[in-house]
Structure 1
């Protein structure tokens, strides 16, 4: 089980959170065309290593958080609020 350190509530078990997806994906502009929206919706990376993800603390403060998590080991290295940035470490 993951322990996610919420900046507002402290460390909590992952059952209090909902995974919301990759936080590095950028929505295309409204005039980008059908192909750009198709790629945005269906063509996603499946990285091995560190990834910044969206999580929502449903069982607590209900805040959206950015979590830096390793996709193989599930180690959580950093958590930030939705407006802050998290950098993915080099290999």
Structure 2
């Protein structure tokens, strides 16, 4: 079972969370001006990278709050957890749990 670090509740099992799709997708400025092809692009078409990917998650069985996560799609490792309004962090290549372990070891 994978642990996901909720920004408000701490680490919890993955079954408490639901995936919410790609993060940082801007709502159209004038949605009434979009044709069917443009709506299809907005609603259905998303990036599918191999490597770090910004995603939205909700802690549905806990605090029920949304947050963003930077996750490696190859290893499923969470590289960073951050707020919905925050900018995507730089890719560090180290998961938050590993960062804490290395910081605690350095004390």
Deviation per residue, 1:6-56 (Å, 9 max, x gap): 111111111010101000322323123322111112222211110110000
The structure whose RCO (Cα within 8 Å, separation 6+) is larger is 1
Deviation, 1:74, is 0.5
The structure whose residues are more often strand, as a share, is 1
After TM superposition, the structure 1 = structure 2 runs for residues 7-46 of structure 1, keeping only pairs within 5 Å, are 7-29=7-29, 30=31, 31-46=33-48
> Higher Cα Rg: structure 1 or 2?
2
Q: How many residues align?
A: 91
TM-score, length-normalised on structure 1? 0.86
Q: TM-score, normalised by structure 2?
A: 0.74
Distance 2:45 2:92 in 1: 24
Structure 1 or 2: more helix by fraction = 2
Paired with 2:28 and 2:60, the residues of 1 have a C-alpha distance of 28
Residues 58, 90 of structure 1: alpha-carbon distance in 2 compared, 3 angstrom cutoff:
closer
Unmatched tracts of structure 2, length 5 or more:
94-107
CA RMSD of aligned residues (A): 1.9
Rounded to whole Å, the distance in 2 between the matches of 1:13 and 1:90 is 23
Residue in structure 2 matched with residue 83 of structure 1 by the alignment: 85
